[in-house]
Structure 1
Amino acid sequence: MTIDKFIRRLTSLGLAIILFIFIAAYSIIGTVLPQGLQREFYIESYPAMGSIITALQFDQVYSSWIFRILLFLFIVNLAGCTLRILPGQLKKMKKDHFPKPKPDGDNLHAENMDIQKFRGILERKRYTIVEGEKGFRASKHRIGNIGSSVTHLGIIIIILGSFIGNMFAQEGFFNMLPGDVKGFPQYGFSLRLDDFRLGFRDNGTVDQYYSDVTVLRPEGEEWSDTMWVNNPLKVDKVDFYQTSYGWASSLSILGPEGEEQNALLRNGESYFYQPGHLTVYLYGYFPNMTITSLGEPITMTEQELNPYYAVILYEFGNHVSSDILEPGQSIQYKDFKLTFTDSSLYTGLTFRKDFGYIFVMLGSLLMTLGLIFSFYFYPKHIQVEEKSIRTITRQNTWGFDYQVRQLVQQSTEKEE
């Protein structure tokens, strides 16, 4: 394959469509699938696909090397396409360039029209007049010729901003219980979770989850706000997103001498109690538990209507007990007493500081400008010769012909 042929393929419309489809598919995955969580979450939540999700980086789509390669190729494709068509568009913007009318186009000339009056009307309408051998030519909105290139440039800058943002953005994920404080010394503030709560639909399913937070600063200044899934929090160009939630359960282990150890476990986590060589595995906390036909515990809703714990005990790595417990109910194993006292909701928050924001704003402005050039200021040409008036435009031909007919009609009207 020659270099010219390779460049043509690299900048072809077909490749652009393929890349756009892949980028759209990855974006859909990144929207539907929770992002930035721990690997264990995907393994447990998607048993059949968890390993594939993490291997293909579907858990961090927008910062994955696959997504970055797709964006880079799309930028190269769009830039090459733009550079290929731009010289022709710039040529069409020159005053002496005038496209040929279609041979089968309508002749809008009227027998009783005043050509000079028609010309004056066009000049008042801000048409540029160029003299010709057999008459004159009028043109307007030549800027529309570069509309597609300006649009392409805007898209390139937007994607470039996203690319830079993905490469250099500062981001992370953390969990918080009500009362916890997360410090961000690099940004000069801390975040305190005042409360976290769930909103339910009439059928008991979760409708929304809310975090009441307070922003704390070293100088004592603070302010509070409520964030939810579709309402992120922005603090000094750092965006916080509500991405997940779960239950944290309080475990108390009482030894033979009355000594006590406490731990906080999430579903699927273990605690090793050294004095008894005992591992306590919290299979799950079920706020509204029921047992399936296969004997598996599940929760019907996240409302605490029938709460139970599923707990498994191991001693020296060997399974010794599996129990279903109510809050406050204890397990007595040898000289040890184990109790799950209660559970609290925690929230999972993602933070991100994106350096590509200014590029996205500039690109959006240019893309909007390009679309306005293309669809509202598209080029209009009128060729006027003896007994002939023909229009040339690349879109809305019927509408442009109608406008010119109205101007021709005005040139036939006698002044009183």
Structure 2
Amino acid sequence: MEKQADQPQSGGKDRSNKKSGVISSVYDSFNSIKLTVFLFIALGLVSIAGTIIEQGADPAKYARDYSETTIQVFNLLGLFDMYHTPWFLTIILLLLLNLIVCTIERLPRVIRFAHSIKPILEKGEEKHYPFTETFRMEGNPQDQVERLLRHDIRIPPWIILTDILSMVLAVFLTLKYPMSPLEFIAFIVVPISYVVLLNFRGRVIRTEQDGAIHLFLNQWLISRFGVYITHTSIVVIFIGAIIGSIFGFKGYMAIEEGETTNQMYLREDRMIDTVPASLRAMFSKGEQAGQAEMINDGKKFKSLPFSIRCDDFSLSYYPNTGRPKDYTSDLAVMRDGKEIAKKTIEVNNPLIVDKIYFYQSSYGRTGKPGQVALSVSSPGLPPQDYRTPVDGSFTIQGTGTEILVKSFVPDFTIMNGHVAQRSDEMINPAVYVMGKEGESILFSGWIFPNYPEHSVKTGHFDIRFKDYWGSQYTGIQVAYDPGVETVWIGCSLLVVGLLISFFHSHQRIWARISGNEIVLAGTTHKNQMAFEKKFNELKNRLKA
């Protein structure tokens, strides 16, 4: 009976040991530098893919750039919105756990070591250190040794100057670019933190024991903690990235000239799973009108707490190439029927409203007829702006002259002596106008916005072609990332941690002074050659 009673207990103990062994094994796996290296390599490789494949672009762009099969494969893997995929977040979480476990495992040992350092060099103890020297000095050796050691821990002027310049730069960037208070703090964290840490760069401790004077320079002890500051910064960066991934959003708005909307469609990791197979063929014909149907085909929409109005879209080209040089959008922000902000955006110069960023991303033709915008000036009258569709007309205010817009060509050229359209792009737009009074034709001719000197000039009027308005849409990338400020702070801490880790080492120098005899001993935990030079300079200056 006793044996039978003992058997379940033994089995329970074995299961407990196995469970403990599994937990210990998992913990040991996360406490591995090899795992850190592997995860960083994996993160680097997938980040390269995320750089090559444009993230969160207009689905129409993907349709133009990739085959249908490639789109399906990339979409299945989530490569169009890689940074929000579960597998990417899994890599981040594994790296976070790895860094946290490594820090928990090693940091206590460093703290215990920091508290165990002795300021006294016992007799015979110097032989345990890599750098030692024994010699005699005349006069008052302890004061000379202490003065030289204290001189070694002063703050170099160039560091003070660099930090002042860094803080000035932070203020300048804040004035030039809109920043939140946390972003500004992140910018000045590096210079201020480094100055603060310089105050912990070292100190000289003087102790008297057994008739001897002991001087101890404990310099840059904090450099042993640099790697843990770096670990912490990476954790902060990843936390910021996770906050942005969970609570932020990215999307797209296609706004026609003159249109006002607060609707954006969200980019999901399955963002183009409903794009029709014929999409590439549709766009290869240059027909952009189908984009609205494609966007509404199963997409998730989000309503913004304000509306965006596109007042105008402008596109310029490099001469004689047809390649876009620059494209801008004049945007206005409307809230409760009132205009609260206005800005002309271009690539890398976004509009920011309530921490939501609106980037110039793309553009295209709506497929709808636009309106010709003309400017008419005449003696004694201010310039007047008019808009009319092609084949439309208007009467110049204060006169009886009627202006008829007879024809529009987006890319004007002459072929075989006749006007021709070179392409569908607005590279060299031109409009043919005619002026009439009653049945009499007063003037006619082609007008070019790129060549204002070719305006139609009569004895009474100067007519200029300003824009073909309403035929284009602007593609706006929308991004809200509440974790970006946390990322900024993490990046600043990362710089501080790297500065401490790579440019400083924990250096210890002891001096035991007994009468005129001086015993020096020193050690460092890295960069032995630089410390040897420093130790020899101290020794030679004392001997001189």
Q: TM-score, normalised by structure 2?
A: 0.54
CA shift, 1:95, in A, is 5.2
- Given that 1:383 and 1:390 are in contact with CA atoms closer than 8 Å, whether structure 2 keeps it comes out as yes
CA distance in 2, matches of 1:101, 1:219: 81
Residue 355 and residue 105 in structure 1: after superposition, are their counterparts in 2 closer, same or farther (change >3 A)? same
CA distance in 2, matches of 1:223, 1:75: 40
After superposition, the C-alpha distances for 1:154-205 in whole angstroms (9 at most, x for unaligned) are 1101111101210111332121122121227976432211222334335332
CA distance in 2, matches of 1:104, 1:96: 14
Q: Which of 331, 341, 359 does residue 223 from structure 1 map onto? A: 341
Residue 177 and residue 39 in structure 1: after superposition, are their counterparts in 2 closer, same or farther (change >3 A)? closer
Secondary structure in structure 1 of the residue aligned to 2:336: coil
The residue number in structure 2 matching 1:311 is: none
CA distance in 2, matches of 1:131, 1:197: 80
Q: Which of 211, 230, 241 does residue 329 from structure 2 map onto? A: 211
CA distance in 1, matches of 2:317, 2:208: 74
The residue type paired with residue 309 of structure 2 is R
Q: Is 1:116 matched up with 2:142?
A: yes
Moved more, 342-351 or 60-69: 342-351
After superposition, the C-alpha distances for 1:278-313 in whole angstroms (9 at most, x for unaligned) are xxxxxxxx979xxxxxxxxxx989554699xxxxxx
After superposition, the C-alpha distances for 1:254-278 in whole angstroms (9 at most, x for unaligned) are xxxxxxxxxxxxxxxxxxxxxxxxx
- Given that 2:216 and 2:510 are in contact with CA atoms closer than 8 Å, whether structure 1 keeps it comes out as yes
Q: Which of 46, 51, 68 does residue 31 from structure 1 map onto? A: 51
Residue 137 and residue 300 in structure 1: after superposition, are their counterparts in 2 closer, same or farther (change >3 A)? farther
The residue type paired with residue 523 of structure 2 is I
Residue 300 and residue 144 in structure 1: after superposition, are their counterparts in 2 closer, same or farther (change >3 A)? farther
Residue 112 and residue 220 in structure 1: after superposition, are their counterparts in 2 closer, same or farther (change >3 A)? same
CA distance in 2, matches of 1:27, 1:92: 38
The residue number in structure 2 matching 1:140 is: 219
After superposition, the C-alpha distances for 1:141-165 in whole angstroms (9 at most, x for unaligned) are 2122111101110110111110121
CA distance in 1, matches of 2:508, 2:367: 75
Residue 215 and residue 156 in structure 1: after superposition, are their counterparts in 2 closer, same or farther (change >3 A)? same
Secondary structure in structure 1 of the residue aligned to 2:368: strand
The residue type paired with residue 542 of structure 2 is S
**Higher Cα radius of gyration:** 2
Residue 301 and residue 403 in structure 1: after superposition, are their counterparts in 2 closer, same or farther (change >3 A)? farther
The residue type paired with residue 152 of structure 1 is H
CA distance in 2, matches of 1:391, 1:8: 35
The residue number in structure 2 matching 1:70 is: 91
After superposition, the C-alpha distances for 1:307-351 in whole angstroms (9 at most, x for unaligned) are 9xxxxxxxxxxxxxxxxxxxxxxxxxxxxxxxxx99933222121
- Given that 1:123 and 1:129 are in contact with CA atoms closer than 8 Å, whether structure 2 keeps it comes out as no
Residue 194 and residue 75 in structure 1: after superposition, are their counterparts in 2 closer, same or farther (change >3 A)? same
Sequence identity, in percent? 27
Q: Is 1:196 matched up with 2:222?
A: no
The residue number in structure 2 matching 1:8 is: 28
Q: TM-score, normalised by structure 1?
A: 0.68
Q: Is 1:82 matched up with 2:103?
A: yes
CA shift, 1:97, in A, is 5.7
Q: How does 1:313-392 map to 2 (within 5 A)?
A: 344-384=471-511, 388-392=519-523
Secondary structure in structure 2 of the residue aligned to 1:34: coil
CA distance in 2, matches of 1:343, 1:192: 13
Q: Which of 384, 407, 411 does residue 542 from structure 2 map onto? A: 411
- Given that 1:90 and 1:145 are in contact with CA atoms closer than 8 Å, whether structure 2 keeps it comes out as no
Q: Is 1:399 matched up with 2:530?
A: yes
CA distance in 2, matches of 1:41, 1:368: 37
Secondary structure in structure 1 of the residue aligned to 2:224: helix
Residue 150 and residue 172 in structure 1: after superposition, are their counterparts in 2 closer, same or farther (change >3 A)? same
Secondary structure in structure 2 of the residue aligned to 1:350: strand
Task: Point out where structure 2 has 5 or more consecutive residues left out of the alignment.
Answer: 1-20, 154-202, 264-301, 371-409, 413-421, 431-467
Moved more, 95-104 or 77-86: 95-104
The residue type paired with residue 74 of structure 2 is I
Equivalenced residue count is 338
Flag the structure with higher helix content: 2
CA distance in 1, matches of 2:209, 2:218: 13
The residue number in structure 1 matching 2:38 is: 18
CA shift, 1:57, in A, is 0.9
Secondary structure in structure 2 of the residue aligned to 1:250: coil
- Given that 2:257 and 2:470 are in contact with CA atoms closer than 8 Å, whether structure 1 keeps it comes out as no
CA RMSD across the alignment: 3.8
- Given that 1:192 and 1:216 are in contact with CA atoms closer than 8 Å, whether structure 2 keeps it comes out as yes
Moved more, 38-47 or 94-103: 94-103
